[in-house]
């Protein structure tokens, strides 16, 4: 397994290289920002990036890779930052956000957790991962990582798609915010954390532009969400 790093922290890189060797990972080190083609030339399974090297447009860099390679794990490993910055990074494309100082063993464990989530799922319980989930005017294509209305893609990010697919997999059933947070981030949800609500709002906005007569994600106030296609006005 190959991890590409974009980082200049030499002490961190040395410790990570030692841990990678013990864990039989190949570490590809870049000490400067690198273009998409050059980065992909090493065929990494995951990218670990310190956004301090990327400048003020770091979020555009993060957003580039999920669309290019949905199975690529993208993790930020950087210094202390605000909650708003971390949520924004996770929203635009990062699969995880690690705050330095951190132990390299935890970093690799988080990389492995991300790769378990980003790899295409194996068929389970007779469910075909290439199947299409339909509701109202919406078609959710599991193999394409996007939702479509009349053949027009909604343009969901990978994390938005994962949230919608998780709700659709439990169609009609209510899923608590805590469950959705664990499925998306592999972590327990902190008190007051509102990132799931932010993702739901963005999914609704994207689907609403294509299918304004339908609502697909229903709110269970104070608890969670469910996937139920309903016409505006209440008809299912």
Instruction: Please give the mean pLDDT across all residues of the chain.
Output: 84
pLDDT, tens only, 139-170: 998 877 788 998 898 988 777 888 999 999 88
CATH number of the domain to which 106 belongs: 3.40.50.2300
Residues 103 and 143 in one domain: no
Residues 98 and 163 in one domain: no
Residues 45 and 142 in one domain: no
Does the residue 172 lie in any domain? yes
Burial class (CB in 10 A: 0-12, 13-18, 19+), 95: buried
Residues 103 and 146 in one domain: no
Residues 167 and 111 in one domain: no
Residues 7 and 82 in one domain: yes
**What domain count does the chain have?**
2
d(CA 197, CA 187): 16
pLDDT, tens only, 181-229: 888 766 677 777 788 898 899 999 999 999 999 999 999 988 999 999 9
Ranges 21-25, 88-92, 215-219, most confident:
215-219
Residues 7 and 105 in one domain: yes
Q: Is the pTM of this model over 0.75?
A: no
Domain extent, residue 175, equals 132-231
Tracing tokens 């273009």 back to the chain, one arrives at: 35
| Confidence band for 174, pLDDT divided at 50, 70 and 90 | very high
Does the residue 71 lie in any domain? yes
Residues 165 and 88 in one domain: no
Residues 6 and 113 in one domain: yes
Residues 8 and 113 in one domain: yes
Q: Which of 93, 118, 143 is the last residue of a domain?
A: 118
d(CA 158, CA 62): 12
């Amino acid at each position: 397994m190959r991890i590409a790093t974009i980082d200049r922290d030499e002490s961190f890189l040395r410790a990570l290289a030692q841990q990678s060797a013990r864990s039989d990972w190949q570490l590809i080190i870049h000490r400067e920002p690198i273009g998409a083609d050059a980065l992909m030339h090493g065929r990494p399974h995951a990218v670990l990036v310190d956004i301090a090297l990327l400048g003020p447009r770091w979020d555009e860099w993060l957003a580039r890779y999920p669309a290019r390679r949905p199975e690529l794990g993208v993790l930020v490993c950087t210094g202390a930052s605000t909650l708003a910055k971390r949520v924004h990074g996770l929203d635009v494309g990062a699969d995880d956000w690690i705050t330095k100082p951190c132990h390299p063993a935890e970093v690799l464990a988080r990389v492995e957790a991300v790769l378990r989530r980003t790899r295409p799922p194996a068929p389970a319980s007779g469910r075909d991962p290439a199947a299409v989930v339909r509701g109202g005017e919406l078609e959710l294509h599991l193999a394409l990582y996007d939702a479509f209305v009349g053949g027009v893609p909604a343009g969901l990010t990978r994390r938005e798609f994962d949230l919608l697919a998780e709700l659709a997999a439990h169609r009609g059933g209510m899923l608590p915010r805590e469950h959705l947070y664990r499925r998306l981030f592999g972590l327990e949800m902190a008190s007051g954390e509102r990132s799931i609500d932010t993702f739901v709002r963005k999914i609704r906005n994207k689907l609403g532009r294509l299918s304004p007569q339908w609502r697909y994600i229903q709110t269970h106030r104070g608890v969670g969400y469910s996937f139920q296609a309903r016409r505006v006005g209440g008809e299912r």
